Amino acid sequence: MSNLLSLLGLGASGIAAQNAGVSVAANNVANVNTEGYSRERVDLRAEPMTNRVLPGGVRAEATQRYANEMLSGRMRTASGALGMSSAFHRAMLDLEHLVASAGPGIEQSLAALSSKLGEVAAAPLDRNLRDAAVAAAGDLAANIRRRAESIDASQDDADARIIANTSVANTLTGQLAEANRSLAMTDDPTLRDRRDQLATQLADLVGGRARIDPDGHMRFVLDGGAVLVDGVHAASLSTSADPVTGFAQVEVVSGNQRRDVTRELRAGQVGGDLAFRDDASTAAAASLDALAFDVSTAYNNVHRTGAGLDGGTGRDLFVPAAGPTGAALAFEVDPTVAADSDLLASAAVGAGVGDNSGALALNQVAGQRVATGGTRTLTDAAIDLSAGVGRIAADATAAYERDRTVGTHLAGLRDAFAGVDLDEEMTQLARFQHAAEAMTRVVSTVDQLLGDMIARL
**Predicted TM-score of the model (pTM):** 0.81
Is residue 231 a contact partner of residue 222, using CB atoms and an 8 Å limit?
no
Alpha-carbon distance 385 to 387, whole Å? 5
Is residue 104 a contact partner of residue 140, using CB atoms and an 8 Å limit?
no
Question: For the stretch 59-91, what's the b/e string if a residue is b when 16 or more beta carbons lie within 10 angstroms of its beta carbon?
Answer: ebeebebebeeeebbbbbbbbbbbbbbbbbbbb
Alpha-carbon distance 200 to 262, whole Å? 21
Give, in order, the Cα–Cα distances in Å from 314 to each of 114, 117, 281. 21, 18, 36
The pLDDT tens digits along the chain (457 residues) read: 455 555 666 677 777 777 778 777 887 787 777 777 777 778 777 777 666 556 666 777 777 777 777 888 788 888 899 999 999 999 999 888 877 766 678 889 999 999 999 999 999 999 999 999 999 999 999 999 999 998 999 999 999 999 999 999 999 999 999 999 988 888 788 888 888 889 999 999 999 998 888 888 889 999 888 889 998 899 999 999 888 888 999 999 988 888 989 998 999 999 999 999 999 999 999 999 999 999 999 999 999 999 998 888 999 999 998 899 999 999 999 999 999 999 999 898 888 778 899 999 999 988 889 888 888 899 989 888 888 888 899 899 999 999 999 988 888 887 777 777 787 878 888 887 887 777 777 667 766 766 666 776 6
Angle between helices 378-418 and 69-100 (to 10 degrees): 150
Q: What is the pLDDT of residue 324?
A: 93
Q: What is the pLDDT of residue 335?
A: 95
| Alpha helices per DSSP H over 345-377 | 357-363
Strand 58-65, strand 257-260: pairing: unpaired
Collect all residues with Cβ–Cβ distance below 8 Å to 168 and sequence separation of at least 6: 205
Alpha-carbon distance 240 to 247, whole Å? 8
Dump strand ranges (E) for 137-245: 209-212, 218-221, 227-230, 233-234, 236-241
Q: Of 349, 284, 275, which Cα lies nearest the Cα of 312? A: 349
Collect all residues with Cβ–Cβ distance below 8 Å to 333 and sequence separation of at least 6: 134, 137, 138, 141, 317, 318, 319
- For 254, phi then psi, to 5°, come to -135, 105
Q: What is the DSSP annotation of 290-319? A: HHHHHHHHHHHHHHHHEE-TTS-BS--SBP
Is residue 352 a contact partner of residue 346, using CB atoms and an 8 Å limit?
no
Three-state DSSP state, 229 = strand
Q: How many CB atoms lie within 10 A of CB 146?
A: 17
User: Taking the CA of residue 99 as centre, how many other CA atoms within 13 Å lie in the half-sphere pointing to its CB?
Assistant: 25
Angle between helices 127-185 and 281-305 (to 10 degrees): 160
